[in-house]
């Protein structure tokens, strides 16, 4: 019985970390599909979400809901500025150059955050209480429920958006073939901007819901971004269910690995999975031969 409840605990912990990876991975996938570049500044949006919420809460003394709203809006504004100032002027550059630009942007954003808010780690208050809930011998916090709920909502919303709205369909069209999309009158540049809006918003949301559990500081973006990238790779860079499953899988494997084998290998496990997938199935685990990539 003891082992059973231990396993449940590992699974629940893994699922909650995995959900965050999945959200970050989605951000990667959305931009990749619209532009063909890997946005290595994705992790910084996660950091911005957490730090900005903290800023609006602690320094502007706003209540939680407006603080969260403003944080998402401001991170999105950063995403827009990033696309306008660093990506759009170089639309004819090779993807490699753009990828390197995103790395530069990530260092810049991180540095600015450090100068603005200092190097300290900060904790956000939980959204609704701190009393543990028991599920089958395992315990989770109300904040975990928030993570599951928000992740689920975002997945459903992105599914609806990409499949049932004109803008979403237009973005999918750009992903298939930007040239053809342009020919039928879709403003491809607009769609690129749009992809940055969506992915910075999703990224910052991930940062906000996780901050009460894991705390936040100017440099949380790096490793979280890498894990999210891992999730997106496992999912074959799809901005649908593939990346979500990739993130959850990664989270669960990490947690099981730490619990059953050794915590020292936790990060190693994630990156070994990444390497194996890149070698064996570079197109992603869940990718069928003919699937959409949005």
Partner 1 sequence: MSGIRCRVFVALLFVVLTACPALGAPPIKIGALFSITGPASFLGEPERNTAQMVVDEINRAGGIGGRTLELVTYDTQGDATKAVQAATRLIKEDKVVAIIGPSTTGDTMAVIPLVEKAQIPLVSCAAGIKITEPVKKWVFKTAQNDSLAVARIYEQLKKQKISRIAVLTVSDSFGSSGREQLTAQAKSYGIQIITDETYGPKDTDMTAQLTKIRGTQAQAIVCWGTNPGPAIIARNVKQLGLNIPLYMSHGVSSKKFIELAGDAADGIILPSGRVLVANLLPNSDPQKKNLQKFVKDYQLRYKAEGDHFGGHAWDAVMLLKDAIERGGDSPAGIREQLEQTRNFMGIGGIYNYSAQDHAGLTKDAFVLVEVKEKGWALVK
Half-sphere exposure of 24 (CA within 13 A, CB side): 40
User: What is the nearest approach in angstroms of partner 1 to the Cβ of residue 253?
Assistant: 11
Interface pick for partner 1 out of 69, 149, 263, 276 (rule CB under 8 A): 263
Interface pick for partner 1 out of 66, 95, 132, 282 (rule CB under 8 A): 132
Q: Which of 72, 50, 94, 48 is nearest to 214 (CA)?
A: 50
Measured CA to CA, the distance from residue 183 to residue 117 in angstroms comes to 46
Could you tell me if 260 and 10 are in contact, meaning their C-beta atoms sit under 8 angstroms apart? yes
Determine the interface stretch with partner 1 among 68-76, 174-182, 186-194, 212-220 (rule: CB under 8 A). 212-220
Site for partner 1 contains 17 (CB under 8 A): yes
Partner residues linked to 138 by β-bridges: 135
Binders of partner 1 among 101-120, rule CB under 8 A? 119-120
Q: What's the sign of the alpha-carbon dihedral 106, 244, 67, 224?
A: negative
Tell me the number of residues near partner 1 by CB under 8 A: 35
Site for partner 1 contains 140 (CB under 8 A): yes
Tokens 């900005």 -> residue: 52
Q: For the chain, state the CA radius of gyration.
A: 19
Binders of partner 1 among 226-255, rule CB under 8 A? 255
Partner residues linked to 133 by β-bridges: 140
Interface pick for partner 1 out of 70, 99, 100, 139 (rule CB under 8 A): 139
Binding site for partner 1 (CB under 8 A): 2-3, 6, 9-10, 13-14, 16-17, 119-123, 130, 132, 139-141, 210, 213-215, 217, 220, 223, 255-256, 258-259, 262-264, 266-267
């Amino acid at each position: 019985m003891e082992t059973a409840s231990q396993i449940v605990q590992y699974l629940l912990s893994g699922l909650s970390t995995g959900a965050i990876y999945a959200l970050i991975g989605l951000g990667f996938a959305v931009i990749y599909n619209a532009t063909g570049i890997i946005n290595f500044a994705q992790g910084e949006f996660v950091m911005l979400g957490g730090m900005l919420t903290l800023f609006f809460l602690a320094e502007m003394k706003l209540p939680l809901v407006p603080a969260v709203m403003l944080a998402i809006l401001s991170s999105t504004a950063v995403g827009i500025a990033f696309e306008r100032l660093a990506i759009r002027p170089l639309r004819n550059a090779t993807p490699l150059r753009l990828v390197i630009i995103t790395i530069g942007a990530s260092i810049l954003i991180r540095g600015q955050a450090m100068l603005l808010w200092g190097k300290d780690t900060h904790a956000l208050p939980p959204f609704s209480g701190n009393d543990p809930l028991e599920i089958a011998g395992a315990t989770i916090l109300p904040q975990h429920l928030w993570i599951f709920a928000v992740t689920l909502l975002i997945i459903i919303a992105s599914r609806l958006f990409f499949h049932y709205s004109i803008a979403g369909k237009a973005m999918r069209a750009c992903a298939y073939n930007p040239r053809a999309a342009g020919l039928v009158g879709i403003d491809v540049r607009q769609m690129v901007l749009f992809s940055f809006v969506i992915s910075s918003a999703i990224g910052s949301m991930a940062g906000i819901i996780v901050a009460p559990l894991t705390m936040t500081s100017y440099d949380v973006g790096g490793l979280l971004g890498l894990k999210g990238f891992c999730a997106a790779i496992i999912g074959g860079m799809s901005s649908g269910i593939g990346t979500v499953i990739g993130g959850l899988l990664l989270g669960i494997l990490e947690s099981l690995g730490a619990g059953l084998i050794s915590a020292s290998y936790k990060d190693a496990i994630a990156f070994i999975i990444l390497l194996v997938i890149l070698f064996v199935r570079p197109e992603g685990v869940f990718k069928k031969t003919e699937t959409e990539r949005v």
